[in-house]
């Protein structure tokens, strides 16, 4: 029942061992006007022969031969991980905090006069939240995957999109902005921000081992909480001095967050590398050490050819659709709460506008502390091989149960304001489950095209669910929005079932592959496939992270 990756050797089927056949299989062949060399042929866990060509291998293959056999002491490895963490994480975390600030700026602006100044009525504010995810959805259904897989300058392209979204955010404050133009700007903002999470998922898989990824994703995703705290503090400061500004305080809020975002975009362009081989903070030996230490992932830096068979495989993989269903279930509540928490505190809990900003800060604190804490506890449990708790999906199920309890407290603790408020705060531990799914996509979707496809499908679900989430807050149910709270309870109940199914499928497949490996034994010609850009269906050495 081990989820760790097995030996880096897999075996060519016996009928290919003949020297003449091997020689024939390594001759150049033409396809689509190119000359390609067949490097080897391997037998997948499903008994299918998979041809590996030199044009199909991962970018990391260029350094793999030089890195293979590199002697790395545990002390050197620890120092390298710390160096990567210190050089990559501060900027990544800050960007993730700011992108969440940008996303929820409308929530704070709504209680500062945004709705009144733009003459919103009925469910129009709900569409402000949904419009952002229309952009998210359109970009991921359209050019998103193609642009970012084809480019070899991922970090630079990320920086360009960050600068664009900062500019769009600042334009929210333009005096001529009305409801229609505001909705249009929200759609553009969604398009620009949709690239952050998939890029961060790819970056995480390039630098850290599978067993390290959940903790890192937990840390940078937990920065959403820091973003919430910072935004509430800025909004509070602007609100209490709103009479001293030449423009409305809510407009100034958009300008401030937009300028911060633009500044971060330039920092990313200057510092974040496109892949580890281009990292200025790593020496040549350290770059080779990165390649060697991620061999066990059975994945590398990426391949920029779009492979149709990997897209088809992603569509056939049951995990893809479990991720899809999970993301819908987890993000319908997220879409609603993200846009309506400040309004709930103001209307349902009866806090003044000034108190609302202060009472909103603990929500960020729970996420800022809770998500990284769960990630660290999961790493400790895995290192110490603590039964059940060594699996990431166990922590995901546990956090989903906490979110279900929190939703019940928020929705049904009638007459007990403290219990309802505690439920609202406890709800912010729920992203741990989504973090686990993100790290599962990073670790368990092998093959660069397949990874981007699964990630894109997951982000389509994310955007569609977040688009639908604000619509559960029906204007006629103001101020308590009871229907939205019931929807949260239903969604989190479904999440628990989906996560349990994902755990069982991966556990069963790992056992099946272990059995096949034992039956095949060590007969045949051994070849290395860690950087062959094989999918998890093609690579018999691949084991799913639980």
pLDDT in tens, 429-456: 888 898 888 888 888 888 888 888 898 8
> Rounded CA gap, 80 and 203, in Å?
16
pLDDT tens digits, one per residue of 485-520:
888 889 999 999 999 999 999 999 999 998 988 887
- Orientation angle between helical segments 448-468 and 124-141, nearest 10 degrees: 170
Cα 449–chain centre separation: 16
- Is 294's pLDDT higher than 50? yes
Cα 453–chain centre separation: 13
394: DSSP letter: H
Residue showing tokens 């056992």: 511
Contact 460, 141 (CB under 8 A): yes
Name the CATH code of domain 74-511 (choices 3.10.20.600, 1.10.1130.10, 3.40.50.620, 1.20.1250.20): 1.20.1250.20
Across the chain, what does the average pLDDT equal? 81
Indicate the pTM of the whole model.
0.78
Cα 145–chain centre separation: 14
- Is 117's pLDDT higher than 80? yes
If one counts every other C-beta atom within 10 angstroms of the C-beta of residue 394, the result is 19
DSSP-derived secondary structure for 368-379: HHHHHHHHHHHH
Q: What confidence tier does 315 reach under pLDDT thresholds 50, 70, 90?
A: very high
pLDDT tens digits, one per residue of 45-93:
887 888 777 766 666 667 767 777 778 888 888 999 999 999 988 999 9
Cβ-count burial of 518 within 10 angstroms (0-12 exposed, 13-18 middle, 19+ buried)?
exposed
User: ∠ CA 456-298-55 to the nearest 5 degrees?
Assistant: 75
Q: What confidence tier does 6 reach under pLDDT thresholds 50, 70, 90?
A: very low
> Rounded CA gap, 388 and 380, in Å?
13
Q: Does an H or E element contain 1, and which?
A: none
DSSP 3-state of 28? strand
> Rounded CA gap, 515 and 500, in Å?
23
The residue that leads in pLDDT, 332 or 527, is: 332
Phi, psi angles (nearest 5°) of residue 122: 55, -130
pLDDT tens digits, one per residue of 173-205:
887 888 889 899 999 998 888 888 878 888 888
Q: Does an H or E element contain 158, and which?
A: helix 154-171
The residue that leads in pLDDT, 27 or 416, is: 416
Q: What sign does the dihedral 349-355-357-362 (CA atoms) show?
A: negative
Q: What per-residue confidence (pLDDT) applies to 11?
A: 38
Whether residue 479 is preceded by a cis peptide bond, meaning omega within 30 degrees of 0, is yes
Phi, psi angles (nearest 5°) of residue 526: -80, 135
pLDDT tens digits, one per residue of 39-49:
677 788 887 88
What are 449's two structure tokens? 């095209």
Q: How far apart are the first and last CA of the chain?
A: 10
Q: What confidence tier does 326 reach under pLDDT thresholds 50, 70, 90?
A: very high
* Domain boundaries of the chain, sorted by first residue: 74-511
Q: What sign does the dihedral 136-140-141-146 (CA atoms) show?
A: positive
Q: Going edge to edge, which strands form the sheet with 34-43?
A: 28-31, 34-43, 49-53
110: DSSP letter: I
């Amino acid at each position: 029942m081990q989820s760790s990756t097995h030996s880096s050797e897999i075996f060519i089927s016996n009928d290919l061992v003949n020297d003449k056949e091997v020689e024939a299989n390594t001759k150049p062949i033409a396809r689509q006007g190119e000359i390609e060399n067949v490097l080897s042929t391997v037998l997948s866990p499903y008994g299918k022969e998979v041809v590996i060509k030199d044009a199909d291998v991962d970018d990391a293959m260029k350094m793999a031969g030089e890195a293979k056999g590199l002697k790395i002491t545990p002390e050197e490895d620890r120092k390298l991980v710390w160096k990567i963490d210190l050089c990559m994480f501060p900027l990544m975390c800050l960007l993730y905090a700011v992108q969440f600030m940008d996303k929820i700026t409308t929530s704070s602006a709504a209680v500062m006069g945004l709705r009144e100044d733009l003459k919103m009525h009925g469910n129009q504010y709900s569409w402000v939240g949904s419009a952002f995810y229309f952009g998210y959805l359109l970009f991921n259904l359209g050019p998103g995957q193609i642009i970012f897989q084809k480019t070899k300058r991922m970090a630079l392209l990320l920086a360009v999109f960050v600068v664009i979204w900062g500019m769009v955010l600042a334009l929210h404050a333009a005096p001529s902005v009305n409801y229609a133009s505001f909705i249009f700007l929200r759609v553009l903002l969604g398009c620009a921000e949709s690239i952050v999470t998939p890029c961060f998922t790819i970056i995480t898989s390039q630098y850290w081992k599978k067993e390290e990824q959940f903790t890192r994703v937990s840390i940078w995703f937990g920065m959403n909480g820091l973003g919430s705290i910072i935004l509430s503090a800025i909004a509070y400061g602007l609100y209490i001095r709103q009479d001293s500004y030449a423009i409305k305080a809510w407009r100034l809020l958009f300008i401030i967050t937009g300028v911060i975002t633009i500044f971060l975009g330039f920092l990313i362009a200057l510092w974040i590398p496109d892949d580890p081989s281009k990292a200025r903070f790593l020496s040549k030996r350290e770059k080779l050490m990165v390649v060697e230490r991620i061999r066990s992932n059975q994945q590398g830096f990426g391949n920029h050819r779009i492979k149709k068979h990997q897209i088809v495989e992603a569509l056939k993989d049951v995990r893809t659709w479990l991720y899809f269903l999970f993301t819908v279930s987890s993000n319908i509540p997220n879409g609603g709460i993200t846009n309506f928490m400040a309004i709930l505190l103001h209307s349902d809990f009866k806090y003044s506008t000034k108190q609302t900003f202060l009472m909103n800060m603990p929500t960020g604190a729970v996420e800022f502390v809770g998500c990284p804490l769960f990630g660290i506890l999961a790493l400790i449990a895995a290192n110490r091989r603590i039964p059940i708790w060594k699996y990431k999906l166990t922590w995901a199920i546990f956090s989903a149960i906490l979110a279900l309890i929190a939703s019940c407290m928020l929705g049904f603790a009638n007459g007990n304001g403290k219990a309802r408020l505690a439920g609202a705060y406890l709800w912010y531990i729920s992203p741990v489950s989504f973090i686990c799914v993100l790290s599962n996509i990073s670790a368990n979707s092998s093959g660069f095209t397949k990874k981007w496809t699964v990630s894109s499908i997951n982000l389509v679900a994310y955007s569609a669910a977040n688009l639908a989430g604000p619509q559960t807050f029906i204007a006629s149910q103001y101020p308590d929005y009871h229907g939205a709270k019931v929807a949260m309870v239903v969604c989190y109940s479904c999440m628990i079932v989906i996560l349990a199914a994902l755990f069982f499928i991966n556990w069963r497949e790992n056992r099946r592959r272990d059995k096949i490996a034992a039956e095949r034994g060590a007969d045949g010609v051994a070849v290395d496939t860690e950087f062959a850009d094989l999918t998890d269906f093609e690579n018999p050495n691949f084991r799913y992270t639980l």
